């Protein structure tokens, strides 16, 4: 068998040059391309416009850090336990970026995309059209007893400040596309169906904005993780100087209460305990 070849448009090196995405890394990327722009370019293999970069970076800012989330606590505790491995502390934190805490961005982007894919013919051209589609969307979700991803927030019950802000930025850059339009309309019409007003949350609107930027839906969670990497470095930097990890650990360990084993019984899913 002849040796395989592995094609890539990403980094390549030779004796004298380094290229990335077909560009001369040293001359055309370093000092010329911002980090957000580069991240977008790497993910899509096309250079974003300045407007696209601005919306993308606004999303990254919105998702970078939310204080003492489970992922932040995990990074601090892992650093406490294994200070020799910064990569381990960051990786451990990112592993919390799953369905529950970081997943809304991806779920919301995919949900909106799926709805848009079912539209026969033209997409709506005005608010009334989007409202009609949104109404149908919320009704279907309710009938299927499903939540609409991105609708509701456990803290910002009267509105998540990131949402109108991202709408505004996307409009300023002429990047307010169908995903954001549908999401905004869901915000307008859902009370009619659900009988109460829920906020459009910031993680959700980020998913809509990323989808409108044409980014791969399979990787929306990846962008949330990129943003979070910067946030976790911030958490580590603060932990190095003003540590709380050991206090968190002790607050749990010293308050443990030893109880008798509760043998597992598969037949009831172990839920009798």
Crossing angle for the helix pair 178-194 and 202-212, to the nearest 10 degrees: 140
Identity of the residue, 191 or 216, whose beta carbon is nearer to a second copy in the bound complex: 216
Identity of the residue, 39 or 115, whose beta carbon is nearer to a second copy in the bound complex: 39
Give yes or no for residue 118 binding a second copy (CB under 8 A). no
Element (H, E) at 106: helix 103-117
Tokens 């839906």, residue? 217
Taking alpha carbons only, the member of 4, 196, 222 closest to residue 97 is: 222
Among 27, 114, 127, 192, binds a second copy (CB under 8 A): 27
Identity of the residue, 36 or 204, whose beta carbon is nearer to a second copy in the bound complex: 36
Question: Least separation, in Å, of the C-beta of 171 and a second copy?
Answer: 11
The residues facing 20 across adjacent strands are: 23
Element (H, E) at 271: none
What token pair was written down for 184? 């905004």
Among 67, 121, 122, 145, binds a second copy (CB under 8 A): 67
Q: Which of residues 68-87 bind a second copy (CB under 8 A)?
A: 68-74, 77-78, 80-87
Distance CA 93, CA 238 (A): 15
Taking alpha carbons only, the member of 230, 234, 261, 235 closest to residue 248 is: 235
Give yes or no for residue 131 binding a second copy (CB under 8 A). no
Tokens 């209460």, residue? 257
What token pair was written down for 264? 């597992």
Among 133, 162, 181, 201, binds a second copy (CB under 8 A): 162
* Interface stretch with a second copy, choices 126-134, 137-145, 190-198, 212-220 (CB under 8 A): 212-220
CA angle 201, 207, 209 (to 5 degrees): 100
Identity of the residue, 128 or 155, whose beta carbon is nearer to a second copy in the bound complex: 155
Count other Cβ atoms within 10 Å, centred on residue 87: 7
Q: Which of residues 47-66 bind a second copy (CB under 8 A)?
A: 54, 56-58, 60-62, 64-66
Question: Least separation, in Å, of the C-beta of 198 and a second copy?
Answer: 14
Identity of the residue, 98 or 192, whose beta carbon is nearer to a second copy in the bound complex: 98
Identity of the residue, 8 or 196, whose beta carbon is nearer to a second copy in the bound complex: 8
* Interface stretch with a second copy, choices 118-126, 127-135, 137-145, 168-176 (CB under 8 A): 168-176
56 burial (CB, 10 Å; 0-12 / 13-18 / 19+) is buried
Q: Which of residues 227-256 bind a second copy (CB under 8 A)?
A: 227, 229-231, 233-238, 240-242, 244-245, 247-249, 251-256
Give yes or no for residue 18 binding a second copy (CB under 8 A). yes
Phi, psi angles (nearest 5°) of residue 119: -75, 125
Stated length of the chain: 273
Among 119, 146, 161, 197, binds a second copy (CB under 8 A): 161
Identity of the residue, 132 or 250, whose beta carbon is nearer to a second copy in the bound complex: 250
């Amino acid at each position: 068998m002849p040796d395989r070849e592995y094609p890539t448009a990403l980094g390549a090196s030779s004796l004298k040059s380094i290229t990335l995405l077909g560009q001369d890394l040293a001359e055309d990327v370093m000092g010329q391309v911002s980090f957000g722009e580069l991240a977008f370019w790497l993910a899509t293999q096309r250079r974003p416009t300045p407007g696209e970069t601005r919306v993308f970076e606004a999303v990254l800012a919105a998702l970078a850090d939310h204080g003492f989330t489970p992922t932040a606590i995990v990074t601090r505790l892992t650093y406490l336990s294994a200070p020799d491995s910064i990569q381990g502390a960051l990786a451990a934190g990112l592993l919390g970026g799953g369905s529950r805490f970081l997943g809304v961005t991806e779920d919301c982007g995919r949900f909106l995309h799926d709805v848009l894919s079912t539209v026969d013919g033209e997409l709506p051209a005005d608010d009334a059209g989007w409202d009609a589609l949104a109404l149908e969307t919320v009704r279907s979700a309710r009938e299927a007893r499903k939540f609409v991803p991105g609708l509701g927030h456990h803290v910002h019950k009267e509105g998540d400040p990131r949402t109108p802000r991202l709408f505004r930025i996307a409009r300023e850059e002429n990047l307010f596309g169908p995903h954001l339009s549908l999401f905004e309309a869901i915000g307008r019409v859902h009370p009619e169906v659900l009988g109460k007003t829920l906020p459009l949350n910031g993680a959700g609107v980020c998913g809509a904005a990323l989808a409108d930027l044409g980014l791969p839906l399979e990787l929306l969670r990846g962008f949330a993780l990129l943003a979070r990497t910067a946030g976790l470095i911030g958490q580590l930097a603060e932990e190095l100087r003003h540590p709380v990890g050991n206090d968190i650990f002790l607050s749990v360990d010293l308050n443990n209460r030893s109880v008798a084993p509760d043998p597992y019984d598969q037949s009831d899913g172990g839920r009798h305990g």
